[in-house]
């Protein structure tokens, strides 16, 4: 019975024979191997060199196109890409030009511009990674001139890192050993080439095989589910795969996974279980796949990038909104992103409402960080905000009983908490950055800024430190060292320098042009002559009052 599938054993030299062209269909996921997988493969090949035994690469599944020498790869992208990178590095390290030419013949055919013929490559990647792959890997001498961490996407950076890892390993080998490695790679690796009948069959095989081998990213699995539920033809799958690759290139793989996690939260009240199963049970049961991919996902990608960068474009209110986003981004939790995403996707056409929403969401985010420590309670509080965005009268979340409202009891707890200790780095930095914004001539600092929290009273003064004379009570040191009154902001290098100095010495470091004076929170103590427990208590009370007033807590 003819099932439309044929297979035969081949070598890499035969697979990459002159004139052969293998291309990645757009629905294939991007390059995902790390240096570890690549070096493991190199180790297997070197073992084959020593033992003279063939190394089994595995099955390569292709769909033959109408062009005799062109085939689409259904399964085997990661291995073939990695082997091409290895060949390229071997070529560029070869001291024998004849050997270099021979190796390059497995990578591509040189073009003949005078005759209007372009170079033909044995392996072509998708439209996102293809040009990068040619310029930094396949072109002659390309791996000799790589920059540090080139590339605009995670897959491109992975390819560059794998090339660099191969080069590091192969440079230590002799020309003779590299020649033997090339010979083994080209002729002593067993490959089973499986050919399927047509593109429809290829797409069906892809959906099955994409779940095997190296575990795909979460967004790869979700993508496959979405495409299957949408019932795409191969042409539709190609079109939407290009768009999906664009989204991944714009955000990066891990951020794309997180975006899907936030979308899942928007649709899933329980938020239980792993992301893939949760997305399948919640989001995929409530959305139309075609509408989601065509209309909704691009809006979510845009909103996620704006939120992550703090660069929302909503006209005249943009600066104000981005100020609140920078403050939210400094928090030590991320649950605020789901309601922020949903608002931007559904209501970005109302800048005035957006300004109110993000001002109140920022306040709620800090309140939750300060007084709600249980994760489930935090999620329930944000869930109320998410659901309010769906309400017919959207501004209901701004009413006295709305989910962004801070109760009198919560306000009291916040004020009390601001007088306490903050033992974690994340909480200290978020509060210090926020305090910098409420002081005169202060400003909102992006979380990426070079602003670190300096404890004026050191956290661990040495036994002979003068601080023990000014602060002889160990309990007072423990209670006040990690309070907001003891915090200033400094550039990282200056922070390291100040460390355990005396207060007078610290002030000279803070204000001698090293960068401390750029921060309002640091300038705030310039007039202080002594740094005593009473000084810290007074400053803590004053800073806490300023924050509560800025958040309009009604105290």
Residue 415 lies in a domain: no
- Whether residues 347 and 393 share a domain: the answer is yes
34-46 pLDDT, tens digit each: 999 999 999 999 9
Q: What's the token pair of residue 378?
A: 């935090």
In order, the DSSP letters of 428-452 are HHHHHHHHHHHSTT-----TTSS-E
- Contacts for 91 with CB less than 8 Å, ≥ 6 apart: 100, 103, 104, 107, 140
- Whether residues 122 and 239 share a domain: the answer is no
Of 170, 189, 209, the domain-final residue:
209
Q: What's the token pair of residue 477?
A: 């040191």
347-399 pLDDT, tens digit each: 888 899 999 999 999 999 999 999 998 988 999 999 999 988 876 555 666 66
Provide the residue range defining the domain that includes 460: 425-550
Q: What is the pTM of this model?
A: 0.70
Residue 420 lies in a domain: no
Residue 540 confidence (pLDDT): 97
In this structure, what is the dihedral angle of CA atoms 292, 298, 299, 302, given to the nearest 10 degrees?
A: 150
- Whether residues 196 and 267 share a domain: the answer is no
- Whether residues 364 and 235 share a domain: the answer is yes
Q: Name the stretches of the chain with pLDDT < 70.
A: 1-4, 26-29, 65-69, 111-118, 146-151, 198-218, 234, 271-274, 391-399
Residue 54 lies in a domain: yes
Residue 128 lies in a domain: yes
Residue 205 confidence (pLDDT): 58
| Pairwise CA distance, residues 119 & 108, whole Å | 7
Residue 321 lies in a domain: yes
Are 389 and 343 within 8 A, CB to CB?
yes
- Whether residues 204 and 224 share a domain: the answer is no
- Whether residues 286 and 154 share a domain: the answer is no
- Whether residues 498 and 359 share a domain: the answer is no
Residue 117 lies in a domain: yes
* Residue 206: burial class (beta carbons within 10 Å; 0-12, 13-18, 19+): buried
- Whether residues 349 and 201 share a domain: the answer is no
453-466 pLDDT, tens digit each: 999 999 888 888 88
- Strands 452-455 and 189-196: what pairing? unpaired
Of 175, 209, 243, the domain-final residue:
209
Residue 539 lies in a domain: yes
- Whether residues 382 and 252 share a domain: the answer is yes
Task: Quote the distance between the C-alpha of residue 347 and its chain's center.
Answer: 26
- Whether residues 450 and 508 share a domain: the answer is yes
- Whether residues 222 and 186 share a domain: the answer is no
Task: Quote the distance between the C-alpha of residue 552 and its chain's center.
Answer: 35
- Whether residues 180 and 274 share a domain: the answer is no
Number of domains in the chain: 3
Are 321 and 354 within 8 A, CB to CB?
yes
The helix or strand, by DSSP H or E, that contains position 58, with its residue range, turns out to be strand 55-64
Of 164, 182, 209, the domain-final residue:
209
Residue 555 lies in a domain: no
């Amino acid at each position: 019975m003819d099932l439309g599938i044929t297979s035969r054993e081949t070598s890499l030299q035969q697979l990459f024979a002159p004139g052969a062209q293998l291309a990645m269909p757009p629905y294939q996921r991007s390059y995902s191997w790390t240096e570890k997988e690549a070096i493991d493969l190199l180790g297997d090949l070197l073992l084959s060199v020593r033992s003279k035994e063939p190394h089994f690469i595995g099955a390569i599944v292709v769909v033959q196109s109408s062009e005799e020498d062109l085939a689409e790869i259904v399964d085997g992208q990661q291995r073939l890409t990695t082997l091409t990178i290895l060949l390229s590095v071997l070529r560029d390290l070869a001291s024998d030009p004849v050997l270099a030419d021979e190796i390059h013949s497995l990578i591509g055919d040189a073009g003949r511009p005078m005759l209007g013929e372009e170079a033909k490559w044995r392996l072509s990647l998708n439209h996102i990674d293809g040009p990068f792959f040619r310029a930094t890997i396949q072109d002659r001498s390309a791996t000799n001139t790589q920059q540090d961490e080139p590339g605009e996407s995670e897959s491109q950076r992975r390819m560059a890192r794998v090339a660099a890892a191969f080069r590091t390993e192969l440079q230590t080998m002799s020309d003779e050993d590299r020649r033997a490695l090339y010979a083994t790679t080209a002729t002593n690796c067993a490959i089973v080439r499986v050919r399927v009948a047509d593109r429809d069959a290829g797409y069906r095989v892809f959906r099955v095989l994409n779940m095997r081998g190296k575990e795909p990213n979460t967004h790869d699995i979700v993508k496959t589910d979405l495409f299957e539920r949408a019932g795409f033809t191969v042409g539709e799958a190609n079109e939407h795969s290009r768009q999906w690759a664009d989204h991944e290139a714009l955000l990066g793989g891990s951020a794309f996974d997180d975006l899907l996690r936030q979308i899942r939260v928007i649709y899933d009240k329980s938020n239980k279980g792993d992301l893939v199963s949760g997305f399948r049970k919640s989001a995929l049961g409530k959305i139309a796949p075609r509408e989601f991919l065509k209309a909704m996902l691009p809006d979510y990608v845009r909103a996620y990038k704006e939120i992550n960068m703090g660069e929302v474009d909503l006209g005249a209110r943009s600066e104000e909104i981005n100020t609140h986003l920078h403050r939210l981004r400094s928090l030590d939790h991320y649950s605020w992103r789901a309601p922020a995403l949903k608002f931007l996707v559904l209501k970005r056409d109302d800048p005035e409402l957006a300004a109110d929403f993000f001002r109140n969401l920022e306040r709620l985010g800090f309140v939750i960080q300060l007084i709600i420590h249980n994760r489930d309670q935090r999620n329930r509080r944000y869930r109320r905000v998410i659901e309010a965005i769906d309400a017919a009268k959207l501004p209901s979340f701004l009413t006295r009983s709305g989910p962004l409202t801070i109760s009198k009891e919560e306000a009291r707890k916040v004020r009390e908490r601001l007088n306490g200790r903050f033992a974690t780095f994340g909480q200290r930095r978020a509060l210090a950055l926020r305090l910098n914004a409420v002081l005169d001539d202060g400003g909102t600092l992006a979380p990426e800024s070079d602003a670190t929290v300096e404890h004026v009273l050191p956290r661990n003064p040495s036994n002979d430190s003068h601080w023990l004379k000014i602060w002889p009570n160990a309990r007072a040191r423990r209670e006040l060292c990690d309070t907001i009154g003891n915090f200033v902001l400094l550039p990282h290098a200056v922070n390291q320098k100040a460390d355990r100095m005396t207060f007078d010495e610290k002030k000279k470091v803070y204000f001698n042009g090293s960068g401390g004076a750029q921060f309002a929170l640091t300038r705030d103590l310039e007039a202080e002559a002594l740094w005593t427990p009473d000084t810290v208590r007074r400053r803590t009370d004053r800073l806490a009052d300023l924050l509560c007033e800025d958040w309009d807590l009604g105290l």
